A and B are shown apart, each in its own frame.
Chain A
Amino acid sequence: MVPTVNWPETVGQFLIGTARGKGSEVEALNDAAMLTAMRRAGYVGAPSGLSPVEGAETDTLPPFDAGAQDLKRCLDEGEPLVQEWCRLAAARGWRVPEIRLAEVIDFVRRHPQTRDAVRPVLGERGLWLAAQNPSWAKLFSLAPEIDADEARRIWDEGTVAERKAVLVALTRKDPALRRELIESSWKQEPAKNRVEFVEAFGEGIWPEDEPFLTRCLADRSMDVRFTAALCLSFVRENPVAVEIFEVAREFVKFGPPMQIGAPEMDDARLDRFGIASVKGPVKLDERLSRLTRLVSLVAPWRWESDGDRPASLTARFAVQDQRGHALRRGLLLAARFHQDAGWATALVESENPQTLDGDAPLHLIPREAQERIARALWASGNPHAPYRFASLALTGKPWSPEFTRWFMDQMKRELLAQQSRVYEGSLRPAAYFMDLGAAQLPYLEPAPAWRNAYETWQRVLDLRRSIHSTFERSPKP
């Protein structure tokens, strides 16, 4: 039997129907059945014009296949473990096993903070693979490349976040274009956009940017003025930054004797830096909150002078005092803005651990001081202690053996107690950063409420031990 029609005719017949077209339905079905069988049997791929993917360059680093299982577990367990695996691999000259590459790269897409740890162990193969997938392609490009036309296009058409990202990307590449873009539409932007765009100068300020930021101090929006003042505070010799410091010094004298004043509410100088003024009499605490804002705009190092280091300055005022408290909060904010580890440490250590609150920039403090503070927190009965432990652990620095041993001793007691002060979430991050040699745990039966947390904790520690021993067992390539 040979079909009486060809495939296009059959398709036409089926679409319009035999009621309106020609032929009987049984013939149409028979023809279609035969043609379908012939088409399937005679399949020849139509040319698509696609070429095979260009092959990857040869790798110099060998893949660490022995660690593929550990790495899989790390991907299930969390970012710090993936980072630990990658650091160990990088130190020993290995790369990610090929079977794990796609998962690891997609992990970086979901957890961008792991990018710097992962990149060195991807090898040629991994970077090549990432380039093949449009949703991975930009993950590992070293500097986000952006040309002027693209920057202008995004500036005209993009969302606020995209436009801010353009400004950040231009910081080093083309600061003149950064100024040009921001000034081109400045008058039409709503205040909340203007704040976002000024914030982009936090990435870096060039001398040519200072006049623009100084002009921002005359902006209608208080938030724009404050943000611009904050940006300028990073520039050592900038006249505005020096001026803010001079004003602040009128209210804060480290002495001796130590003096802390409260700015009047109609002080127009403060208004210019984005600190609101109000007419009429106000309470002391409102004036003191202006002091906090003002001090937060001063780079902390400006307070230091010959022989006056942060620790000796913070010792001069009592934080229990209302004025001292306002000054301390301003200094803490400034230490946070300026990433000043010396001031952060001095401020946190001068405080009673019992009242240490959530504002403390613990992440800026060196590990040794953190461990000292953690022990004091634990002993003080501070209600925030368990949460502070979690944030200490999450700073990403490895724990010392002594601190690990001390922590294990506390845990043994806590895990057996029905009413524990430890909360589940603080155990897991602790396991990420403990010293493995010191984290020896005898088998114990935790109180029921802690069983899951305890198992998680053990599992993370086991995995870390497994990672280390797998690397140690494998001779360096």
Chain B
Amino acid sequence: MGMSATWSVEAVMALAPDSASATAGRGLGSPGKWVSFGADAGAAWGLAKGSGANPYQVAIDLSEPAFKCSCPSRKFPCKHALGLFLLFAQGQCPAEARPAYVEEWLAKRGEKQAAAAAPKAAPDPEAQAKRAEKRRDRVAAGLEECSLWLRDTVRQGLASPSVANVKHFEGIAARMVDAQAPGIARRLREMGETLHAGAGWQERLIEQIAHLHLIVEAHQRMEGLPDTLREDVLAAVGFAVKKEELPAELRVRDEWNVLGQHRYQEDRLSVQRSWLWARERARWAMVLAFSVANAPFDPLLAPGSAFRGELAFYPGAESLRALPLDRSDAPLHAAPALSIHQALEGFADRLARCPWTELSPMCLANVRLAGPDWEAIDDAGDRLPLVSAFEPWDCLALTGGQPATLIGEWNGTRLRPLALVHEARWFPL
């Protein structure tokens, strides 16, 4: 099922750093605003009328994409680059020979990339091993403290005022940051947020405590675990695997379809979670990207786009997390849609292989919505409650209440809808 051109207008607009740039960029997306413009297989370029005497030189390296513009704007990409990209996405750029300024810029980029790829001086392996050992010791000591804290919490009980207090969770979370166990610290902070939040918070909090206990216990019994599970435990504790350490045998070349994306704030960081479907291998991948101070995310993973390329998966028994390594454009295809029953069975299988799984992607067939506490209901009458922040209006407008394919992420209790496939078209939600 081919659904849209490689760069849809929506995908281009998703690159805008803010809504003012989006509006201005849309305004520049018509041929009349340009002195000249053109494209070839690798790049698009144009001369934009500006307020200065000379028009601005705008260029896009389509392989990434990367942007260049001679205007003084600090926005990135600027409105000119967005406008040009819109022209290109709408198929309005005529095929032409590259002007000199584009050639020059691309050549410089090539040099920089080559320099970045060149092997750096190898760090001292002895010092590295020392640092790693020191961290392992700190984490082990930290998790020992966390284990005591868990037991103390259960001994006092959640009804006790000193436990049902956000300070009880924040204090230990801060100590886990010091112990270099950020994965544990995040879970503890989330527990603090669950406290007194809505009906049934006690049961949700107990589940979170139980889940943490499972990680801490597993970490203390690391020696007895199979290698892959050990990797899962380390990832849950917060040991990051460096890009260059990702195992070569876990690389997967396929046609990757960015079917859903969710962005949220964590501390001062913006996090972008993208769900990718491999068309040939029929498997999911999750790519996390981070941005500080609202810097734009890597446009490679625009929702609704697709590419042929290689992903390097993180080690683990049921690892979904991966990093994209290279890309070339491809048309978008959705994952096969399952019934809610089938999707839940798949989630159970995933949990059986890795009990620390937090989220699982779902592509659900023939789903309709029911409200006002919104839930998704399929043909068989099975239902999944949706996250409370979900606004159903676009979904209803597009389907008119008819069954459609819904793509989302399931956390074990609620589904967050991310995209919709209706009448062979993909829409972000």
| Residues A53 and B375 in contact in the complex (CB < 8 Å), given A15-B202, A33-B213, A43-B344 | no
The B-contacting residues of A in range 49-81, CB under 8 angstroms, are 50-56, 69, 72-73, 76-77
Q: Which residue of A lies closest to B27 (CB)?
A: A459
| Mask of B158-190 contacts with A, CB within 8 angstroms, 1/0 | 111001000000000000000000000000000
Distance in Å from the Cβ of B425 to the closest Cβ of chain A?
Answer: 10
In contact, B157 and A98 (Cβ under 8 angstroms): no
Q: Is the CB of B156 within 8 A of A53?
A: no
Does any Cβ of A come within 8 Å of B19's Cβ?
yes
A17 and B154 within 8 A (CB): yes
Assess the A50–B375 pair: CB atoms within 8 A.
yes
Q: Give min CB distance, A427 to chain B, whole Å.
A: 16
Interface-located stretch among B100-108, B246-254, B364-372: B364-372
Q: Does B233 touch A at the CB level, under 8 Å? A: no
* B159 lies within 8 A of A16 (CB): yes
> In the assembled complex, which residues on chain B have CB atoms less than 8 Å from the CB atom of A55?
400-402
Knowing A43-B347, A45-B383 are in contact, say whether A132-B371 is a contact too (CB < 8 A): yes
Bound CA span A133–B372, Å = 9
Q: Judging by beta carbons under 8 Å apart, are B369 and A36 in contact?
A: no
**Contact partners of A77 in chain B: CB under 8 A:** 23
- CB-CB contacts of B273-306 with A at 8 A, as 1s and 0s? 0000000000000000000000000000000000
How many residues on B have C-beta within 8 angstroms of the other chain's C-beta atoms? 65
Grouping DSSP codes into helix (H, G, I), strand (E, B) and loop, the A interface class, with mixed when no group exceeds half, is helix
A101 vs B391: C-alpha distance when bound (angstroms)? 13
Q: A142: CB under 8 A from chain B? A: no
A41, B383: Cβ atoms closer than 8 Å: no
CA distance A459 to B28 in the complex (A): 9
Q: Is B124 an interface residue (CB 8 A)?
A: no
Complexed CA–CA distance, A73 and B26 (Å) = 8
The reply to whether B368 and A53 contact each other, CB–CB distance below 8 Å, is yes
A76 touching B154 by the CB < 8 A rule?
no
> On chain A, which size bracket covers the interface?
35 or more
Judging by beta carbons under 8 Å apart, are A14 and B154 in contact?
yes
Q: Does B397 contact A (CB under 8 A)?
A: yes
Please tell me if the beta carbons of B23 and A76 are within 8 angstroms of each other in the complex. Answer: yes
With A26-B151, A56-B401 already in contact, the answer to whether A42 and B348 are too (CB < 8 A) is yes
Measured in the bound complex, the distance between the Cα atoms of B201 and A15 in whole Å is: 12
Q: Which residues of B contact A35 (CB under 8 A)?
A: 210
Q: Judge whether B111 is part of the interface by a CB distance below 8 angstroms.
A: no
Q: Are A32 and B209 in contact (CB under 8 A)?
A: yes
Shortest CB distance B201–A (Å): 12
Identify A99's interface contact among B211, B344, B372, B397, CB under 8 A.
Answer: B397
CB distance from B197 to the nearest CB of A (A): 16
A466 sits at the interface (CB 8 A) = yes
Looking across the interface, which residue of chain B has its beta carbon closest to that of A70? B26
The 9 A-B pairs with the shortest beta carbon distances in the complex, nearest first, are A17-B157, A55-B401, A52-B368, A32-B210, A102-B393, A50-B370, A56-B400, A101-B397, A41-B348
What is B's interface to A at a CB cutoff of 8 Å?
9, 19, 23-24, 26-27, 29-30, 32-33, 49, 51, 150-152, 154-160, 163, 202-203, 206-207, 209-211, 213-214, 217, 340, 344, 347-348, 351-352, 355, 368-373, 375, 377, 382-385, 391-394, 396-398, 400-402, 412-413, 427
Using A18-B155, A129-B396 as known contacts, list a sample of 17 further A-B pairs with CB atoms less than 8 Å apart, ordered by residue number in A. A11-B202, A14-B209, A17-B154, A17-B159, A36-B207, A36-B210, A36-B211, A40-B351, A43-B344, A45-B385, A52-B370, A52-B401, A55-B401, A72-B26, A102-B397, A129-B397, A466-B30
